[in-house]
Amino acid sequence: MDRKVILITGASSGMGKETAKALIGQGHTVYTVARRIEQMQDLESLGGYPIQMDVTNERDIQNVVDTIILKEGKIDVLWNNAGYGLYGAVEDIPVDEARKQFEVNLFGLASVTQKVLPSMRKAKSGTIINTSSMGGKMYTPLGAWYHASKHAVEGLSDCLRLELKEFNIHVVVLEPGIIVTEFGDVMLQNISAFSSKGYYASLTGKLIAATKKMYDSGRGSKATVIANTVSKIVKSEKPKTRYRVGLWAKPMVWMRIYLGDSLFDKIVMSQV
């Protein structure tokens, strides 16, 4: 097997952790980073290399990349997976909170990419996987800032793919659907904090109820579907530009593209 050096951000839980376990098990050299290093000790016991890092801290990022290059001489795969969902009405969300959403979901992703690229260009080889979402192609009420950040990831990734083609560096967009992770809990915390009162109380209550019902029923896909998909990307010499996986990912994006705004609006609102 072609063993690769892989860097995964946002690996302390959910999709990142599950995938890291799978890749370590396949014999790859896997570096995992997150703010909560205490939640990655199990990865170290499996043979991974956890390092504490905040994707919004430039010095943190540079130190991690330098450490990996010094030890391994290269980074074959970068998976920009760190992110979270800020939910609440546009009128209610403080702009400073919206900036934090973009700092993590977009600018953090871009900063890690910038610091990994010199070694990939030198090697004329590499794969960058950017975690977007089905939410990068469609929208839901009270999710404006989250969706905006993921739409931005889509645009950045498309431009980056064209820029890096001559260096034989692949850029892949991962578009998960509903995956059973901590994402739902964080989303509900944000809604409760920013939009539980006032003019949007009715809509907020309906969205909270619908979200809890969905997650409590266990209807979301397991994180293993992401692990299997990323493993496939890592192995591929010519990965696809997009991988849309998990509950609702393909049908929701299909409906957004082909049904038009008015009909899609009705479908989305019928769920809340």
Tokens matching residue 73: 């001489």
The count of other CB atoms within 10 Å of the CB of residue 174 is 25
Strand ranges for 205-245 from DSSP E: 242-245
Q: Which residue in the list 49, 84, 87, 146 is annotated as catalytic?
A: 146
Question: How many other CB atoms sit within 10 Å of the CB of residue 90?
Answer: 14
- The pTM score is 0.95
| Structure confidence at residue 243 as a pLDDT band (50, 70, 90) | very high
| Across 67-76, 178-187, 233-242, 244-253, least confident range | 178-187
Average pLDDT taken over every residue of the chain: 93
For residue 212, what pLDDT band results from cuts at 50, 70 and 90? confident
**Cβ count within 10 A of residue 182:** 12
At 128, which CATH number?
3.40.50.720
Is 199 annotated as catalytic? no
Residue 214 has a pLDDT of 75
Q: Does position 59 have pLDDT exceeding 90, yes or no?
A: yes
Q: How many domains does the chain have?
A: 1
* Residue 133: count of CB within 10 angstroms of its CB: 29
CA–CA gap between residue 55 and residue 9 (Å, rounded): 8
What's phi and psi for 47, nearest 5 deg? 115, 10
pLDDT given at position 184: 64
Range of the domain at 87: 5-270
pLDDT at residue 157 above 70? yes
